[in-house]
């Protein structure tokens, strides 16, 4: 079971960027935790972080017929990207949206997600565990 893990803009700065909001884990730390979890769940992961919307769209398109599902933290693109939303809808891959912070306790513009309507579900507010819970939920959804 191959899963694509996408990290959106500014997530390459995790551990340095506003640790009071996003925690002290680096993106590499999160990826290593997910790899360990995926092994236990019988899944393999491919990772991509990009600050560029088109690169994320291209990765979603490339996942068509290649991956079983997508775990995505779209970062700020959550609230702005119709292109990422449309790419997810186009490939028909089960997708789980995750966020480290509770976006609904933050600025009002963060309360809207273009991704949520085309995702299986959304998990936010649990720090690195949002990713872990998202991976578990996605694998459970895929295995039925």
Selecting among 7, 22, 77, 114, the annotated active-site residue is: 22
Active site residue 141: no
Beta bridge partners of 7: 49, 73
Tokens representing 8 are 């959106």
Selecting among 7, 77, 99, 114, the annotated active-site residue is: 99
Q: How far apart are the first and last CA of the chain?
A: 13
The radius of gyration of the chain from alpha carbons, rounded to an integer in Å, stands at 14
Backbone φ, ψ for residue 64 (5° rounding): -55, 125
Beta bridge partners of 5: 47, 71
Measured distance CA(15)–CA(25) in Å, rounded: 5
Active site residue 99: yes
Total residue count of the chain as it appears in this document: 144
* C-alpha neighbours within 13 Å on the C-beta side of residue 18: 7
Instruction: Give the catalytic positions in this structure.
Output: 22, 99
């Amino acid at each position: 079971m191959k899963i694509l893990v996408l990290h959106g803009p500014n997530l390459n700065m995790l551990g340095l960027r506003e640790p009071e909001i996003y925690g002290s884990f680096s993106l590499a730390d999160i990826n290593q935790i997910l790899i360990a979890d995926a092994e236990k769940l019988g899944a393999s992961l491919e990772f991509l972080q990009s600050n560029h919307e088109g690169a994320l769209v291209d990765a979603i398109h490339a996942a068509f017929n290649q991956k079983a599902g997508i775990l995505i933290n779209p970062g700020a693109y959550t609230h702005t990207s119709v292109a990422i939303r449309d790419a997810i809808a186009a490939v028909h891959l089960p997708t789980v949206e995750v966020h480290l912070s509770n976006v609904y306790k933050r600025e009002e513009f963060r309360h809207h997600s273009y991704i949520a309507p085309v995702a299986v579900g959304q998990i936010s507010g649990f720090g690195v565990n949002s990713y872990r819970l998202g991976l578990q939920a996605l694998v459970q959804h895929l295995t039925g």
